[in-house]
């Protein structure tokens, strides 16, 4: 069963989308992220991926009040990412109502800190962020590409107890040109049992069916919703069938 996870990206407290992670290619879709989240909930969706793009750039959590507002006014299960670099950031995120935190940059630059958090909060509450550009890990809101290969990165962390991975193909993100089925299938073949969240370029309901058929556990949808490529009514019907959640 594929879990559908709509995304809200925040800059300046507003709901935006970027193309290929480029902050210069920003489009504001709604001034009020809570309104968007309430709409998701009203259509039967239960999860939310909330990204603090200001925080990712600034290296500390900034838009926690948006998280707090959505968490207190909806029953959505929220995973929050962007700018989580220190104990204080993670405390803010969980105290503001996030169920899970997505950690990318720290896992690359300070693995010891990541494992400290995993020990403190448990593997179920931490999602390893694996954002890739040409199979290399990118960090800091995709502003920096490392030399670390995706395969090595995943092997290292999964062997040490990571259970959830959010993998975004940056080249696909926000482009509405389809998602990286081969990449996600490859990851699942190498790591059966992993809770993989596929992200980047999901453009149609057909693609959701294909991800489900390939036993991908979850998928994030962003721009396709905001641009009307996938309607919320369509997602509601999918959830009602019981094939998706």
Q: With CA atoms as reference, report the closest residue to 170 among 110, 222, 235.
A: 222
User: Mean pLDDT for the chain?
Assistant: 92
For residue 176, pLDDT over 80 is answered with: no
User: What is the residue-wise DSSP string for 144-212?
Assistant: EEEEEEHHHHHHHHHHTT--EEEEEETTTTTS-S---HHHHHHHHHHSTT-EEEEES---SHHHHHHHH
The encoded tokens of residue 144 equal 């920096």
Integer angstrom CA distances of residue 63 from 14, 26, 35, 93, 212: 10, 17, 16, 10, 32
Spell out the CATH class of 3-241.
Answer: alpha beta
For strand 126-133 and strand 136-139, is the pairing parallel, antiparallel, or unpaired?
A: antiparallel
Q: Minimum mean pLDDT among 60-64, 80-84, 129-133: which range? A: 129-133
44, 4 in Cβ contact below 8 A?
A: no
Secondary structure class of 35 (helix, strand, coil)? helix
Catalytic residue among 9, 54, 169, 173: 9
Q: Which residues pair with 102 in a beta bridge?
A: 81, 127
Q: For 97-135, write each residue's pLDDT tens digit.
A: 999 999 988 998 999 999 999 999 999 999 999 988 878
> Which secondary-structure segment (H or E) carries 9?
strand 3-11
Domain residue spans of the chain: 3-241
pTM (two decimals):
0.93
Task: Choose, from 52, 54, 131, 169, the residue flagged as catalytic.
Answer: 131
Confirm whether 147 is a catalytic residue: no
Q: What percent of the chain has pLDDT over 70?
A: 94
CA atoms within 13 A on the CB side of 172: 25
Q: For 1-10, 21-30, 214-223, which range has the lowest pLDDT when averaged over its residues?
A: 21-30
CA 30, CA 33: separation in Å to the nearest integer?
7
Is 89 a catalytic site residue?
A: no
Adjacent-strand bridge partners of 3: 218
Element (H, E) at 109: helix 105-109
Distance between CA atoms of residues 182 and 176, nearest Å: 17
């Amino acid at each position: 069963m594929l879990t559908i996870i709509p995304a809200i990206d925040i800059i300046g407290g507003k709901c935006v989308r970027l193309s290929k992670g480029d902050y210069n290619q920003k489009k504001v879709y709604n001034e009020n992220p809570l309104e968007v989240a309430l709409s998701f909930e009203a259509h039967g969706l239960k999860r939310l991926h909330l990204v603090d793009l200001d925080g990712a750039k600034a290296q500390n959590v900034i838009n926690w009040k948006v998280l707090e507002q959505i968490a207190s006014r909806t029953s959505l299960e929220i995973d929050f990412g962007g700018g989580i670099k220190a104990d204080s950031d993670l405390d803010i995120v969980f105290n503001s109502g996030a169920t899970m935190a997505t950690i990318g940059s720290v896992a690359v630059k300070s693995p010891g800190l990541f494992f400290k958090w995993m020990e403190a909060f448990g593997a179920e509450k931490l999602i390893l962020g694996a954002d890739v550009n040409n199979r290399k890990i990118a960090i800091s809101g995709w502003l920096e590409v490392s030399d670390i290969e995706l395969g090595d990165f995943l092997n290292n962390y999964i062997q040490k107890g990571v259970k959830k991975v959010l993998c975004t193909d940056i080249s696909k993100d926000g482009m509405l040109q389809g998602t990286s089925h081969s990449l996600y299938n490859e990851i699942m073949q190498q790591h059966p049992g992993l809770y993989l969240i596929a992200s980047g370029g999901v453009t149609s309901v057909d693609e959701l069916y294909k991800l489900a058929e390939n036993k991908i556990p979850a998928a994030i949808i962003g721009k396709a919703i905001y641009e009307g490529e996938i309607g919320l009514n369509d997602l509601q019907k999918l959830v009602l069938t019981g094939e998706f959640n």
